[in-house]
Amino acid sequence: MEKINIEIAIGISFILGLILPLVGLGGVFSLVVMGFVATFLTKEEITSAKVGAIATGIFCIFFFFYGFLTPPTLPYVLPNPLTLGIFVALGGVFNLILSLIVSLIIYGAFGLLGGYLAMKFFIPEKERKKKSKIPSNLPRRTLKRA
């Protein structure tokens, strides 16, 4: 199979990450599979386990903003915002930013695990060694001093 660019591999794994929960394979398993697929589909010269972490990180940001579009279940009577005070809103913003950071770390870790599994078991070591620009079979140049 022809290997593809990082951007297209991340896009394919993103679509796979949307489809897997519909089939019933959601949760942590789908994150590891996303990282695996993103790393497995990239070219051997530019592949890394970080590609899986990037793919799941983008997926995390997508679900973070998707949460803003879906309304939560609210009680029938909401409290008056004047009685709550400004510190409730500031605490909510702090929790929002902290939850984004923690979610990115968790999603990235599972994507990194999937990328590592793809690197370890399906991409040969000799293909990963091709990244170096200096060929190892050439003799090293030395200065001759008088």
Which candidate, 70, 65, 48, places its Cα nearest to that of 104?
A: 65
Average pLDDT over every residue of 39-61: 90
At a CB cut-off of 8 Å and minimum separation 6, what does 96 contact?
none
Contacts 24+ apart (CB under 8 A), 136-142: none
Task: Give the mean model confidence (pLDDT) for residues 93-122.
Answer: 92
Flag whether the pTM goes above 0.85.
no
Closest CA to 8 of 60, 36, 33, 43: 43
- Please tell me the distance from the alpha carbon of residue 57 to that of residue 27, in angstroms, as a whole number: 14
89 or 51, higher pLDDT = 51
Q: List the domain boundaries for the chain.
A: 6-130
pLDDT at 35 over 70: yes
